[in-house]
Amino acid sequence: MSKIRQLILLLLVSLYCLQINAQPTQTPYEIVVSPDRPDWTYQTGQKVQFNVQVHHYGNLVPNAEISYEVGPEKMPATMSEKKVLKNGQGTIDAGTLKKPGFLRCIVTINIDGKRYRGIATAGFEPEKIQPTVDNPADFDTFWDQARKELAKVPIDARMTLLPERCTETVNVYHVNLQNTSKDSRIYGILAIPKKEGKYPALLRVPGAGVRPYYGQIDMAEKGIITLEIGIHGIPVTMDAGLYNDLRFGALSGYWNFDMDSRDRFYYKRVYLGCIRANDFLTGLPQYDGKNLAVTGGSQGGALSIITAGLDTRVKWLGAFYPALSDVTGYLHGRAGGWPHYFSDSNLDHNNYQQKLKTIPYYDVVNFARRIKIPGHYMWGFNDETCPPTSMYAAYNMITAAKELSLYQDTGHWTYPEERDQMNNWLLKMLKKE
């Protein structure tokens, strides 16, 4: 692989990572909001005060007129007012929560017709948050049967070498596997160390959306077989324009497809596809036969927990801000997980008996209950896509060894340090034997 091609591929991967896990863009004006406790965490009944600063090019803005709202995350504000910050900084007395949960403060300022925004979220005994979603009595029977049906379907693996993506030490392939039937395929990018030997394996599962994939070549160069999959049954190496057409066309809102049936729901094929990807990985002659991990963020964070809950071959999992967690929270007066099936804007469409019967078989909470392996989890309190209330509802159900690394000020994005921390943990786990 030429150095020019390597640089181009590295640029594409970097742009992809920025798109999926981008930090907020910098602006001339910045609103910094923070709770008055360094860990952003309080006891129920304990009052929180939010500190606010408005900066322009790093300097405090005198007489800044702000608008602010305070209330439980994703719920209607319980307090909404305006205030002038004489010296560009001030405080907001936000009250408290009487039950475990999260209280969010959103501050905005309008300057020259442009609106700037800052948020901070205080947690109140989040380790005590309990789920709202039902735990079906036949949950295990349903998924046991689904796995048995999948096992009857041949893998029919097809591998195509991608010379332009290979490096001096790693071979890269476009892979497609037969999934739940002869008409259902799953596609991904496989990266295998070239040096002869046996290696641990890592499955990377995707966040929501429709896009191409480039594989986790950096981990393969460190001696890990990696497979990064898509979930939609389409090749993952096509032109970006095609994925845009599908994202806004045939696959728009795919997370809602056939939700009125637990057997036809879109995510059934997706969840089983993750198991099928492990079937392939563990069958590779280069696999060491014992060390398998799964990782991902958002929808991929959900799929990481789900895959580990369904597949006993997985020995470690690393999840960033898992989606699809306690999605019924909205029906109980609090935030529910992405894709917010029962929020005000979706309630009329989804609040039906058949859909409510389907959801518990797919909610991350019920897979979290069944986790038996060590896991590393990461998220922030300011996540507005995957509310921390929903993520804690799942996390608190995990009885296996677990570690939560909080980056409180993050929303639905990660610092580079978080990615490094997760990759280092996965490498340590996968290579410790």
pLDDT value of position 24: 75
Inter-residue contact 253 to 297 (CB < 8 Å): no
Sheet with 316-320: strands ordered across? 158-161, 170-178, 185-193, 225-229, 199-204, 287-297, 316-320, 375-379, 402-406
Start-end of CATH 2.60.40.1930 domains in the chain: 29-128
Q: CA 160, 307, 376 angle in degrees (round to 5)? A: 105
pLDDT value of position 433: 61
Of the listed 34, 298, 304, 325, which one is catalytic? 298
pLDDT value of position 8: 43
Q: How far is CA 236 from the centre of its chain?
A: 19
Of the listed 279, 311, 363, 383, which one is catalytic? 383
**Angstrom distance (rounded) from CA 338 to CA 320:** 13
Of the listed 55, 174, 340, 412, which one is catalytic? 412
**Angstrom distance (rounded) from CA 74 to CA 121:** 11
CATH 3.40.640.10 fits 139-430, yes or no: no
Tell me if residue 405 is catalytic.
Answer: no
Torsion region of 101: left, alpha or beta (phi above 0 gives left; psi -120 to 50 gives alpha): left
Superfamily of domain 29-128: Macroglobulin (MG2) domain (2.60.40.1930)
pLDDT value of position 397: 98
**Angstrom distance (rounded) from CA 283 to CA 201:** 11
Q: Helix 299-310 to helix 266-283 angle, to the nearest 10 degrees?
A: 60
Tell me if residue 376 is catalytic.
Answer: no
pLDDT value of position 394: 98
- Widest pairwise Cα distance in the chain: 70
The neighbouring-strand residues paired with 407 are none
Three-class DSSP category at 312:
coil
pLDDT value of position 14: 43
pLDDT per 10-residue tile (average), the chain, 433 residues: 44 44 80 97 98 96 97 97 96 97 98 96 98 98 98 97 97 97 94 97 98 96 98 96 96 97 98 98 97 98 98 98 98 98 95 97 98 98 98 98 98 96 97 76
Tell me if residue 412 is catalytic.
Answer: yes
Detail the DSSP E strand segments found in 140-261: 158-161, 170-178, 185-193, 199-204, 225-229
Start-end of CATH 3.40.50.1820 domains in the chain: 139-430
pLDDT value of position 185: 96
